[in-house]
Amino acid sequence: MKKEISCKNAPGAIGPYSQGITANGFLFVSGQTPIIPATGDIPEGIAAQTKQAFNNIKAIVEEAGGKMDNIVKCSVFLKNMNDFAEMNGAYKEFFNEPYPARTTIEAARLPKDVNVEIDAIVAL
């Protein structure tokens, strides 16, 4: 059985999807862009955008009763793979070892022309 997770501290869904879905002891967090929920603004630079995307993920994870340390897998979509090192530095601030499994790819275009979008799978 699946259950929708929705919170005001992350951007609302802009299409036919949920911020998160729990099922069978896992939370699946939809791709989060670096939109600041309170203002709709997007921070400048890949580090700030990575941090905001994770702040949005964190809000959804906490709404579901989880913690960032419960994340087991992330997928990172970068507008430009040349931003990998800077994204990686900001990414690391949100996790302790052992780090989640991760996939990172360059995407031709992301919503609102942001530099990064991140999704997550969380063990609850």
Which residue segments constitute the domains of the chain, with CATH numbers given?
Answer: 2-123 (3.30.1330.40)
User: pLDDT, tens digit, for every residue of 56-93?
Assistant: 999 999 999 999 999 999 999 999 999 999 999 999 99
Residue 14 pLDDT:
82
Residue 88 pLDDT:
98
100's CB contacts (< 8 A; 6+ apart) are 71, 72, 73, 74, 120
How far apart (Å, rounded) are the C-alpha atoms in residues 5 and 103? 24
- Backbone phi and psi for residue 70, each to the nearest 5 degrees, phi listed first: -85, -5
User: pLDDT, tens digit, for every residue of 14-60?
Assistant: 889 999 999 999 999 999 999 999 999 999 999 999 999 999 999 99
CB 101 within 8 A of CB 34: no
How many helices (H) and strands (E) in the chain?
2, 6
Paired sense of beta strands 71-78 and 116-123, if any: antiparallel
